Amino acid sequence: MADEDFDQYARLLERAKSELPHEIEVHERMKIPDPDLMVEGKTTIIRNFGDIADVVRREPDHILGYLLRELGTAGTLEGRRAVLKGIVSTSQLSDRISKYMDEYVICSECNRPDTRIVKEGRVQILVCETCGAHRPVKVRKASRYQEMRAISEGEVYELQIVDIGKRGDGIARKGDFTIFVPGTTKGVQVKVKILKISGTIAFGSIVP
């Protein structure tokens, strides 16, 4: 390349650079805030649940319902916080939120989060606002573990004593759990506070 041609190329390159915008818009994958958890006794509070719902662009009730099914527990919304029964770790919650994103938010065609859910009859359809793709939302059935989680420590349940154990304790059943309750007789209906759970065996005490 001749010197004159090189100089002309260099000038054109510099002019092209000078005409580029200083900021280039970049579309990044949605950044979800890490769950901000606080444990109080036997409950877990997600303090920034409202912020997570805002970023995900889904109704807080919908997200919470999914998390409760996945975690096999109970919980409520308190303003922009979510309160879950039991102790839940950050990794457990982050994993479930990631699964929620895959099922209810991320487009399977362009992998973008710019979607909305619409109903066609009884079927939920995920519509992508970026590429226009449509797909039905596959709602998974509760796992065997979730079905087993019929009781939680510290909670009170109304149970019927269906049998008496070898040590004289009453026996009640709920879901897959066998619950031992001292001071009861067969056939009575009692309110029982769950004190301890070990596998599918639980121990409780009568409450007024």
pLDDT at 165: 86
Q: Which residues pair with 172 in a beta bridge?
A: 161, 179
Q: Is the dihedral of CA 45, 93, 148, 139 positive or negative?
A: positive
pLDDT in tens, the chain (208 residues): 455 655 665 666 566 545 544 333 333 457 889 999 999 988 999 999 999 999 999 999 999 999 998 888 889 999 999 999 888 888 889 999 999 999 999 998 888 999 999 988 888 899 999 898 888 987 554 444 444 456 888 889 999 999 998 889 999 988 778 899 999 999 999 999 999 887 678 899 999 8
Ranges in the chain annotated CATH 3.30.30.170 = 37-145
Are the C-beta atoms of 144 and 168 separated by less than 8 Å?
no
pLDDT at 166: 84
CATH code of the domain occupying 150-206:
2.40.50.140
Distance CA 208, CA 205 (A): 10
Are the C-beta atoms of 184 and 171 separated by less than 8 Å?
no
What stretches of the chain show up as alpha helix (H) in DSSP? 3-18, 49-56, 60-71, 90-104, 144-148
- Class of the 37-145 domain? alpha beta
pTM: 0.56
Strand pairing report for 156-164 and 177-181: unpaired
| SS3 sequence of 15-39 | HHHHCCCCCCCCCCCCCCCCCCEEE
pLDDT at 93: 92
Q: Give Cβ neighbours of residue 186 (< 8 Å, ≥ 6 apart).
A: 161, 162, 163, 164, 170
pLDDT at 26: 33
